[in-house]
Every structure is written in C-alpha cells, then in structure tokens.
Chains A and B, each alone.
Chain A
Amino acid sequence: MTELVIVSGKGGTGKTSLVGSLAALSRDKVLVDCDVDAADLHLILKNKIQKTSEFTGGKQAFIVEEDCTNCGLCPEYCRFDAIKHEELTTGAEKERYWIDKHACDGCGVCVRHCPENAIAFKEVISGEWYLSDTPYGPLVHARLGFAQANSGKLVSLLRQQARLLADKRGLDLIIVDGPPGIGCPVIASITGAGYILIVTEPSMSAMHDMERLLQLTKHFRIPTGICINKSDINPVLTSQIEEFAKNEKVRILGRIPYDPSVTAAQLEGATVVEYDVNGASESVKLLWSNLTEELKE
C-alpha cells in the first residue's frame, strides 16, 4: 500500500483543487482530507456521508464551583495561564476561579494539586470524523470543533482509518490532502508516508514555505516531488524554483498554468479535469503520469 500526501506549506496554492483532480484521474484508492481545521476536499467530490463518529482528542480540567474554596493554589501550578480569577459583585461568593477551556492544555497538574478535589478532569469531544462515499472512491474526512486542540491526533486517526479501509477493500493507494504549515498536523500527516508532493507557486512567499517544507520531508527522509501551480504568473520565479529543485535533487513533476477554469470548476462542485479538458487539465494529467512513475519506484 502506498500513501501519497499532497502538502503546500501555505494556503491558496490550489492544493485541494489538485487533489480533487488526482482523485478523478486515479483508480482503486482511498482519499483522506487531513486538513482537519478547514476541510474542503469533499466540496468538489460530491460526497455522501455514510458514517459519522465522535472524536475525543484529550482531557480538560473543570473547576467544580460547589467544592472550590477559592484557596488560589491551582493558578500557581498552571503553566498555560488557563486558570482565571474574578471578583464577584453579586451572589453569596466574593470571588471565583474558572478554567479557560481554550487555554487549558489538559495536562492535569492542577487536578492533582487541588486540596479539595474540586477540579474534574474529563475527556472532551473535540470534533467529528466521517466516512463518505464519492464517485471516486471512499473519502475519510473530519471536522475539528471550533477553537479545539489536538488536530495532530485527529489526523493520525484519519490516516489509521484510511489504512484499515484500504486493507479491507484491497485498495493499494491512499491519497492524502495535507494541512498547511509545518507543525503538528503536518508532521502527523507525513510521518511514515510513501511519497510527498509539494504544491507551490511562483511567489516569494510560496517559495519560502516550500523550502521549509522540503527541509521537513528531508528530515523525515520521505521521497518528495514538486508541482508548480500558476507557473506562468511569474516566469522568473518559476525558473528559480526549477533551479532550486535541481540543486536539491528534487524532481519537478508538473507545471500547471494559471487557468480560471480551476475556480469555475470549484463553483460547480466539480474537479478541474472533468470540468474543462483543455488548459490546466492537460498539465494535471501530465503531472499524474509523472507521479505514477515516481510511486512505482
């Protein structure tokens, strides 16, 4: 089984549109959307959700007000500044302590120190994950709750579910739409993957982000290729990316010109290769054929 992960470092490079087209061009695979903060892939894959499951990512501390004596000990132990204190003007109590759920890191240190056992420590539901059917194959995706942590754990869960599904259905390819950045959810998306495709564009920002991403994939020793999207927006920078790739001994697998049909396809909820067979589509097909070669090796 091969896992192909498509990442871009920065948002807006056209990564998800590209993954949609690769979904339409490839056969016998499981699709995974690991951009759990802002999952968009399903919007162009005509998905039908078959199964919804809750995701519990970690624990959180809660002060039980009836049991709290306002001793003020817990904030001293919290390294995440999550325990807040306020003076009260109404009611019987003069003050109260409470835990900011967005700041709580779920470490449990305050829970152990509370002399009154007034801090509860509970698993929290921090998102949902879905198994969908699409005309292109099964799709595993998720929705992290607003302002929730543990996106890396959710990503790992999605990849694990995708592998189980691929095994069960005898599919030997997994295509993963990765999150932006280089941190926790990205590391969770790429560790142990078979091949990484970095989607970049000829801008100073995207090049900078691509370089850091390439350092990361080298750090994890995963074979990597590059696709230059909107390659005609700045031909000077496109040739700089090519030069950079040559020095880094990374293959450029595709150059896709800027094409308004990419947005037009998205508005129709369709993939580019199905929406318009000309323009960007031809470049995407060439990219897929190069990518297939790389995956065989």
Chain B
Amino acid sequence: MGKDVAYLDCDVEEPNGRIFLKPEITEQIDVTVPVPRVDLDKCTFRGECSAACEYHAIAVLGKAVEVFASLCHGCGGCSDICPEDAIEEIPRTIGHISRGVGMGVEFLEGRLNVGEAISPPVTKALKKLAITSDVAIIDAPPGTSCPVIEAINDTDFVILVTEPTPFGLNDLKLAVGMVREISLPFGVVINRSDIGDNKTDEYCHRERIDVLKKIPFSRRLAEAYSRGEMMFGVDSEYEKSLRELYENIAGRSNHD
C-alpha cells in the first residue's frame, strides 16, 4: 500500500493471520491480568472481599480464602475494599503478544493461553502496542460480544464479511446491529457471492448498506486458502480488486 501498515490479529482465541503472512517474530510480550493474593496472617476472614466481587472469584470459607483466578476480571475491587490491607495483586499471565514483520507489514498477534476464558485483555494490550503505524488492519474474532467489541472499538471503519446464505444473512444482521449500536461506519463484503440467493443484496439495499465487494466462489481460491496462501497470489484480478477495496475505504475514513 506504500504506507506504514500494521496487521493486528485480534482473533486471540484462534489467531490465523500468521499462517498467511508468515512473519519473522522478533519479540514476545506476556499479557498479564492482576489477581488477588491474600496474606492469611493479616486476614480476619470477614468476607468483605467475597461480598464485593461481582465475578465470584474470591470466597472466604471459615479460616481459608479461595481465589478462582480464571474467573477474576482484575478490577481490583477486593484489594480495594479489604479493611486489613491483606490483599495484594499479582500479575497472572493469560496469553502473549508476538511482534515481527511479514511481507513488509508490521505483524502483531495476540494469543490467549488455552484454558483461559477471558480474552479482551489480550486484545486491549495488543491494540495499545500498534498506535505508531499509519494504517492498522485488525483481524477481529467472530461473534457480537465482548471480544469483538474490544477489537473494533475506536476504529475508523469496519468491514463485515458475509456469504449469501440464511446463516450468513442472519449473522450479518446481528453484526450490523452491533456496529450500529456502537456507531461505527461500516460496509459489507459478500464472499462466495454466487453460492446462495440474493436476499443479502436485498437486505443491504433495504437498509442502505454499502456492498463494497462481491467475491464469487472459486475452487482455486478455496484450495489456495487451505494451503495458507494469499488471495492476491491466486490471480492478479484479485490483487486489483483488493486494492480497489482498500482505496474505497481509505477515501471514506479520512484517515489516509
């Protein structure tokens, strides 16, 4: 693109961008969340911490205090409320960020450790690292709840990728509801645009949503994807088409 571009893999539960950009990783940074550690010599077992915790992550049972670290959101409420100053917060690693360069693009990937439930802190840490580049392209996770919100929050434009099937359309409507709820400009790309019906087109027309691009099904493309190859490498037509898509969006978001 002739600019300083960063790619951020914010699908931290299942990051796949590495397979395609094949980056050389030069740095790894742990992502931690603060969790409570109780000093039992100071604790008077009154259970104020447990009563204050909205996540049921700390429980006082007789003369013992149990911390359920994987439920902890790191709000600091327990150490804050403790009248004996018996709770300190210690960092617990829940994932890591890899940084490097792939195909001339600054590459940043968040990766949640397997077994961890709460992914937004990884995404948050990742986005804070990427503020230096001109253009940041964020690969967001699926769904419409907290991990996605964390990924798309404070961005300039959102591309919703769908396919023209009942499942695709149902999920698109939910995604549109989400981006409208947080008031972000967006457009739609219809992938495998010829495999279904035209209800997605009709919906977008009715809702005055821009269809930015349609990509017909191609077995060659599916096979290249399966091998971890880039779309633009399959055919120069795709490269041209993707460039148009980028120029189109860069033109609207006023952040070129």
Chain B residues at the A interface, C-beta cutoff of 8 Å: 13-14, 16, 19, 52, 54-55, 73-77, 80-81, 112, 114-119, 141-149, 153, 165-167, 170-171, 174-175, 177-178, 180-182, 195-197, 222-223, 225-228
Contact = CB atoms under 8 A, between A and B. Distances in A.
> Which residue of A9, A103, A237, A263 has the most chain B CB atoms within 10 A of its CB atom?
A263
B73 A237 contact: no
A233 B142 contact: no
Nearest to B171: A38
Given A43-B166, A102-B149, A147-B182, A112 B81 contact: yes
Contacts of B174: 37-38, 146
Nearest to A108: B54
Contact of A233 (B143, B195, B222): B222
A234 interface: yes
A122 interface: no
> Which residue of A40, A103, A151, A179 has the most chain B CB atoms within 10 A of its CB atom?
A40
A219 B142 CA distance: 23
Contact of A216 (B74, B77, B114): B114
Contacts of B118: 183-184
B75 A10 contact: no
Interface string A96-115: 00000011011111001000
A181 B114 contact: no
Interface in A140-190: 144, 146-152, 179-188
Given A79-B75, A108-B77, A182-B114, A147 B14 contact: no
A212 B227 CA distance: 19
A290 B133 CA distance: 52
Contact of A181 (B13, B19, B180, B225): B13
A269 interface: yes
B117 A181 contact: no
Contact of B54 (A59, A102, A260): A59
